């Protein structure tokens, strides 16, 4: 049987439990928070006073902080690209001859939860008055227009490694932004980012369980897929980000440097995520591997130490780089 057919069988096997995945890791619409719960209420007479207070507190947040918050928002708002990619994965179908496909059901409900993140952050940025919203909006449209390729092809094993990694990375980023916002006295923004981070952690736990279950039924191929993704390196969802008038991907390095300067997401965080996944999936204990998969495991276990040495030698520029999204005149 071909590798692709085996993967399809595994996806069909996992799909039998899709309702339990939805129940365990996603929250019903009527019970989960909505963006309006965390923003000034436009129906109340106190709305303008609340907005004025939000804007005053926002003035104390530093330049790199705004760059990172904008970049995080744009990344969240490019959700249509991520959903369309995952809907094309082998084993995922919008509809089948026997009815709704379980994986499509999962992805639509996951998308529904993720969609709230961009909505909330976008509204906060708009109300804050600290950023050039037209430039932000153009960057978002460019990112969606330019597409997305995490290097996974239609392989569900590789895609689930990617989503497991990325959901944990976004948890770290939003959680660190929450901590910094609290440090600078913006408790409302801190709560916003912390509650988004909570969603990301739930989603990480779901996707990492998918991988864990695949390891139990197809360990060698799952190990090889994990190795493949780490060899080529996990691509950040915003790696093609650009400002208006610029070429694809030109803004990502500057955005990444801002995140590293303020400690929101660093090279060491990348290494730490890999170590956490090695431990979570207990790859050192997996049995029944082929010789090739054994070599892949050895590579994965040694990789964190090698990457740590590289990360320790990295030098992040100390000078802030100006973005069209955030202009100095807007943050004085």
Q: Is 23 an annotated catalytic residue?
A: no
Q: Is residue 33 part of a domain?
A: no
Distance CA(299)–CA(28), nearest Å, equals: 41
Q: In the annotation, is 114 catalytic?
A: yes
> Is residue 135 part of an annotated ligand binding site?
no
Q: Which residue has the tokens 């790859």?
A: 283
106 a catalytic residue:
no
pLDDT of residue 98: 67
Question: Which of 233, 250, 234 is closest to 242 using CA atoms?
Answer: 250
Q: What is the C-alpha separation between 148 and 236, in angstroms, rounded?
A: 10
Which residues does residue 100 pair with via DSSP β-bridges, in sequence order?
95
Asked whether residue 328 is domain-assigned, the answer is: no
Neighbours of 44 (CB within 10 A): 10
Task: Calculate the alpha carbon distances from 275 to 29, 165, 189 in Å.
Answer: 34, 11, 30
- Give residue-wise pLDDT tens across range 137-155: 999 999 999 998 899 999 9
Name which of 11-25, 63-77, 95-109, 179-193 the model is least confident about.
95-109
- The one catalytic residue in 64, 72, 76, 113 is 76
d(CA 86, CA 92): 8
Domain-located, residue 281: yes
CATH label of the domain that carries residue 78: 1.10.620.20
Compute the mean pLDDT over every residue in the chain, rounded to the nearest whole number.
Answer: 94
| Residues 17, 103: Cα–Cα separation, whole Å | 10
Q: Is residue 267 within 8 Å of residue 253, measured between CB atoms?
A: no
> Average of pLDDT values for 287-298?
97
What are 212-225's pLDDT values in tens digits? Answer: 999 999 999 999 99
- Assigned domain for 116 exists: yes
pLDDT digits (tens, 9 = 90+) for 158-197: 999 999 999 999 999 999 999 999 999 999 999 999 999 9
Closest CA to 20 of 213, 169, 276, 281: 213
142 is in an annotated binding site: no
- pLDDT, residue 318, reads 87
Quote the domain boundaries for residue 182: 3-28+42-312
Domain count, the chain: 1
φ, ψ (nearest 5 deg) of residue 264: -80, -45
Task: Tell me the pLDDT tens digit for each residue of 28-74.
Answer: 999 999 999 999 999 999 999 999 999 999 998 999 999 999 999 99
User: Is 34 part of a structural domain of the chain?
Assistant: no
pLDDT score, position 321? 87
**76 noted as active-site residue:** yes
Q: Is residue 142 part of a domain?
A: yes
Q: Any catalytic annotation for residue 308?
A: no
Quick check: is 324 in a domain? no
- Alpha-carbon distance of 146 to 150, in angstroms, equals 13
In a domain, 111, yes or no: yes
Confidence of residue 332 (pLDDT cuts 50, 70, 90): very low
Unique residue bearing structure tokens 């989603």: 203
Global pTM reads 0.95
Q: Which two tokens stand for residue 125?
A: 């940025």
Dihedral sign (CA 137, 78, 149, 315): positive
Find out whether 114 is annotated in a ligand binding site: yes
């Amino acid at each position: 049987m071909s590798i692709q057919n085996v993967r399809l069988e595994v996806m069909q096997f996992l799909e039998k439990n899709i309702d339990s995945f939805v129940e365990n890791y996603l929250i019903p619409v009527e019970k989960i928070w909505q963006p309006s719960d965390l923003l000034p209420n436009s129906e109340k007479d106190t709305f303008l006073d609340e907005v004025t207070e939000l804007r005053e507190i926002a003035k104390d947040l530093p330049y790199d902080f705004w760059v990172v918050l904008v970049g995080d928002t744009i990344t969240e708002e490019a959700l249509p690209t991520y959903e369309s990619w995952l809907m094309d994965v082998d084993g995922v179908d919008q509809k089948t001859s026997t009815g709704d496909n379980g994986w499509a059901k999962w992805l639509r409900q996951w998308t529904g939860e993720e969609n709230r993140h961009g909505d909330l952050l976008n509204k906060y940025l708009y109300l804050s008055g600290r950023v050039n919203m037209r430039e932000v909006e153009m960057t978002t449209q460019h990112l969606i227009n330019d597409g997305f390729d995490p290097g996974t092809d239609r392989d569900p094993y590789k895609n689930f490694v990617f989503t497991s990694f990325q959901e944990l990375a976004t948890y770290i980023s939003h959680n660190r932004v929450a901590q910094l916002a609290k440090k600078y006295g913006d408790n409302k923004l801190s709560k916003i980012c912390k509650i988004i981070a909570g969603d990301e952690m739930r989603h990480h736990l779901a996707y990492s369980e998918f991988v864990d279950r695949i390891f139990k039924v197809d360990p060698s191929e799952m190990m090889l897929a994990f190795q493949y993704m780490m060899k080529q390196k996990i691509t950040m969802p915003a790696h093609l980000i650009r400002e208006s008038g610029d070429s694809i991907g030109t803004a990502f390095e500057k955005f990444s440097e801002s995140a590293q300067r303020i400690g929101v997401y660093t090279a060491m965080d990348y290494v730490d995520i890999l170590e956490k996944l090695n431990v979570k999936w207990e790859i050192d204990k997996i049995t029944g591997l082929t010789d090739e998969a054994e070599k892949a495991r050895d590579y994965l276990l040694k990789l964190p130490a090698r990457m740590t040495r590289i990360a320790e030698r990295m030098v992040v520029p100390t000078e802030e780089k100006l973005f069209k999204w955030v202009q100095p005149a807007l943050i004085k």
